[in-house]
Amino acid sequence: MIIREIQPEDNQQIASVIRQVFIDDNYPKVGTAFADSQLDYMFENYKKPKAIYFVIEENGKILGGGGIAKLDNSDENICELQKMYFLQEVRGKGIGFQIIEKCLQKAKEFGYEKCYLETLPEMLVAQKLYKKVGFDYICSHLGGTGHTSCPIWMIKSI
């Protein structure tokens, strides 16, 4: 498996992977990344300053990914860890940790002061990973992501 930056030809596969995770794990489809309009244009969405998205590829198949971008609707110097999802076949292999580390390194290079994320209550394994890398729970959301079904908010100083 290799971790690399997203390319235009990855758009269809990564959108399919993210939607499949929501279907397989029975996560809410409304008010989450599943409903994001940019899901079908991930390469274009992350082709902007201080943003990057990584995919996991094995034998030409995209198995998951994750990225960072400036937190929407915020005047603070905060990025958001975004759209980090993996097919079941690659979970538990340390890939999530590697993606987060790459994202946080890029966030530091981009000059962000903090990294924010939103997640679902049922994503307990993900929350454990976020805690492991230094994210802390906060009591309210930041910015305006539109993810109204994600009531767990975390932040980390970079």
Tokens matching residue 151: 């009531």
Q: Is the pLDDT of residue 146 over 80?
A: no
Tens of pLDDT along 95-132?
999 999 999 999 999 999 999 999 999 999 999 999 99
Give φ, ψ of 137 to 5 degrees.
Answer: -70, 145
CA torsion 11-15-20-25 (nearest 10°) is 130
Rg (CA), the chain: 14
Tens of pLDDT along 35-86?
888 899 999 999 999 999 999 999 999 999 999 999 988 989 999 999 999 9
Amino acid symbol at 44: E
Query: E-strand spans in 6-86?
Result: 52-58, 61-70, 78-86
Residues 6 or more apart in contact with residue 113 via CB below 8 angstroms: 76, 77, 78, 157, 158
Helix (H) or strand (E) holding 98: helix 95-110
CATH code: domain 2-113 is 3.40.630.30
* pTM of model > 0.85: yes
**Is 82:20 a contact under the CB 8 Å cutoff?**
no
Terminal C-alpha separation, the chain? 27
